[in-house]
Amino acid sequence: MSDDAHAKEVTLGRIETEVALLMRLGEATRRGTGTMEHRLLDRAAYVILRHLDQAGPQNVSALAARLNLDGSTVTRQVSALQRDGLIARTPDPADGRGTVISATAAGLQRMAAVRAARTRLYGEMLASWSEADRDTLAELLHRLNEALDARNRRR
């Protein structure tokens, strides 16, 4: 193996390790944070509500496709959110047999509280970082998420 190929392999190995740690530590941080706001929603509910807030109302199939989840998984999560009054179902104007899911005001308020708590937490953790480093991290994470999303869509 050439020195160049070895260096690339080492770098990719470091990336794999750091992403694995990021996922584990991110979840541990969410679970271990003492403030109530962090526990207002589980991860799945937060992701669904964030997506509905950004993309607007949609049917379960579109939601499942966008989140790269099985339709039955999303249906269960949506049912729990509906029981808690965080989403509403209305008839789908494009398909009378289906329903469209939308976030309720209560769902959006709860999601916003979790988002604000997470933003404060990251602000505290990254307080010693320069603005340029925070911007770079945000851009690189965005690019990584785009690459992961594109790969999942090709499957």
Q: Which residues contact 101 (CB under 8 A, 6 or more apart)?
A: 52, 57, 58, 59, 60, 63, 78, 87, 88, 89
Q: How many domains does the chain have?
A: 2
Provide the pLDDT confidence category of residue 71 given band limits of 50, 70 and 90. confident
Whether 65 and 97 map to the same domain: the answer is: yes
Q: Which helix (H) or strand (E) holds 137?
A: helix 131-154
Whether 65 and 91 map to the same domain: the answer is: yes
Q: Take residue 79 and report the two structure tokens written for it.
A: 């049912």
Whether 66 and 135 map to the same domain: the answer is: yes
Each residue of 43-66: pLDDT tens digit? 889 999 999 999 999 998 899 988
Instruction: Report, in angstroms and rounded to the nearest whole number, the Rg of the chain calculated over CA atoms.
Output: 19
Residue 90's DSSP bridge partners are 100
Whether 55 and 7 map to the same domain: the answer is: no
Provide the pLDDT confidence category of residue 126 given band limits of 50, 70 and 90. very high
Whether 133 and 86 map to the same domain: the answer is: yes
Instruction: Give the CATH number for residue 59.
Output: 1.10.10.10
Answer yes or no: is pLDDT of 27 > 80.
Answer: no
Whether 18 and 46 map to the same domain: the answer is: no
Name the residue range of residue 55's domain: 38-154
| Chain centroid, CA 134 distance in Å | 19
Whether 74 and 150 map to the same domain: the answer is: yes
Instruction: Map residue 95 onto helix, strand or coil.
Output: strand
Whether 56 and 117 map to the same domain: the answer is: yes
Q: Tell me the whole-structure pTM to 2 decimals.
A: 0.81
Measure the N-to-C terminal CA separation of the chain; round to a whole number of Å. 31
pLDDT score for 42: 83
Q: Which residues contact 2 (CB under 8 A, 6 or more apart)?
A: none
Whether 52 and 87 map to the same domain: the answer is: yes
Whether 83 and 108 map to the same domain: the answer is: yes
- 14-21: long-range pairs with CB below 8 Å, 24+: 19/144
